[in-house]
Amino acid sequence: MVIIMKLTGKAFVYGDNIDTDVIIPARYLNTIDPDELAKNCMVDIDKEFVKNVTKGDIMVAGFNFGCGSSREHAPVAIKGSGISCVIARSFARIFYRNAINIGLPILECEEIADEIGSRDEIEVDLSTGIILNKTTNKSYSAEPFPQFMQEIIAAGGEIAYIREKAKGVKE
pLDDT digits (tens, 9 = 90+) for 93-149: 999 999 999 999 999 999 888 899 999 999 999 989 999 999 999 999 999 888 888
pTM for the model stands at: 0.92
**What is the structure's pLDDT at 4?**
56
In terms of Cβ atoms closer than 10 Å to its own Cβ (0-12, 13-18, 19+), residue 14 is: buried
